[in-house]
Amino acid sequence: MISLTNQTMTLNIKPLYNLLIATGLLAGTLITSSCKHNDATPVYTANKAQLKQLTDSLNLVYTSSIEGHDLGQYPKQARTDLKESLDLAAAVNTGNFTSQEVSNAYANLRRAATAFSGRIIEEVAAANLVAKWLFTGNAMDATANHHDGQLMSGIIGTEGHPADGGTLPVLTTDRFGQAGSAYEFTNGAYIEVPYTVALNPGMLSISLWINPKETNSDNYMMSLDRWNGFKFQLQTDNFLYMTVKTPASTFDNDSNPGKMTVGAWHHAVVTVGNGAINFYIDGALSKSTSLAGTLVQLASPVNLAIGQQLPKDKFNFTDSTDPNYFYGGTFFRGSLDDIRYYNKVLTTAEVTQIYNNEKPN
């Protein structure tokens, strides 16, 4: 679960950076007095005023910052790195050091401040983010687009013998150990999101965290009218598997050799467009395959299903020639969290940024 509760903290910290820049502490160089000596005896007469001013200001930034994985927060390592630089600067401020050593400490602290400001967690590719389901106690869309999900019981059983599983998705513990911050899917349970054209883009990227409960050849994670639109699932050996339909053909590809691990959280991304289907696992490219064309627009609206192959009211149980015929229960078994849905092909750098922002420490 990643939430949006700390955006105001960003606004509180940025003025401090602006103050540092305005006073020259992040834009200039330390002015020190020096004189020429013919011997090797160090001279400890350095002016430490600017170093102390920068140290005091950055201590305010450090204490005001929040460690975490939410927007406006900082990764643990970012705060650790800044604290190390502040401790070094504090030692120089209180000890006997030459002008050159003070200048070096000042330059090091400026670099640390610049690096820290660049590591605040911000939204990735915000302009192309269609929906974001954080599962922070509910299935609501965390963007302003309101692609809110509804908890549903789904169809299970075998061909000719369908049944309603009678179970809704259940809130569970996420990868950070936070209760009620991810959803567990069992017995056909799924989340249904009302169809809009925005959920049916020509190019697509899906980012999500997966913890499969078991290996299954039809572990559907997301589907927009199955192979008539796209389906994203786990296949045999827990490989990621993507099927997409374009005007040119239907493309089926897996992430082999990259795969998920039963009972463990992994980050998975699939991108579709620009002539390729790309699979990423835990921030690294696992496989890329060729693609012709862009995703088709559905002939008739079908709601997006998270954890199932189709919304249960779309199945045809009697006519095997119907595109939505029920061939048997295919649904996700395990937990999902932090689903991002984009109308663009994420770059490798963007995928890595999402992973680094959202991974456990």
Identify the pLDDT of residue 69: 82
Identify the pLDDT of residue 29: 47
Residue 222, beta-bridge partner list:
232, 306
> By mean pLDDT, which of 123-127, 167-171, 217-221, 317-321 is the weakest?
217-221
42 pLDDT band, cuts 50/70/90, is: low
Identify the pLDDT of residue 197: 97
Q: Where are the domains of the chain?
A: 7-117, 126-358
The Cα–Cα gap between 146 and 140 comes to 7
Pairing of strands 304-306, 190-193: antiparallel
The Cα–Cα gap between 220 and 159 comes to 17
The Cα–Cα gap between 257 and 218 comes to 18
Residue 18 has pLDDT above 90, yes or no: no
The Cα–Cα gap between 127 and 209 comes to 22
Residue 287 has pLDDT above 80, yes or no: yes
Identify the pLDDT of residue 44: 60
pTM: 0.81
Whether the CB-CB separation of 12 and 32 falls below 8 Å is answered with no
* pLDDT tens by residue, 152-191: 999 999 999 999 999 999 999 999 999 999 999 999 999 9
User: Is there a cis peptide before residue 212, judged by omega within 30 degrees of 0?
Assistant: no
Residue 20 has pLDDT above 80, yes or no: no
The Cα–Cα gap between 238 and 315 comes to 26
CATH architecture classification, 126-358: Sandwich (2.60)
What's the average model confidence in pLDDT over 80-109? 93
Residue 45 has pLDDT above 70, yes or no: no
CATH match for 7-117 among 3.40.50.800, 3.90.1150.10, 3.30.200.20, 1.20.1270.90: 1.20.1270.90
2 pLDDT band, cuts 50/70/90, is: very low
Percentage of the chain lying above the pLDDT 70 cut: 87
* CB neighbours of residue 178 within 10 Å: 13
* Residue 254 dihedral angles phi and psi, to the nearest 5°: -120, 175
10 pLDDT band, cuts 50/70/90, is: very low
> By mean pLDDT, which of 13-27, 71-85, 265-279, 339-353 is the weakest?
13-27
What's the average model confidence in pLDDT over 263-289? 97
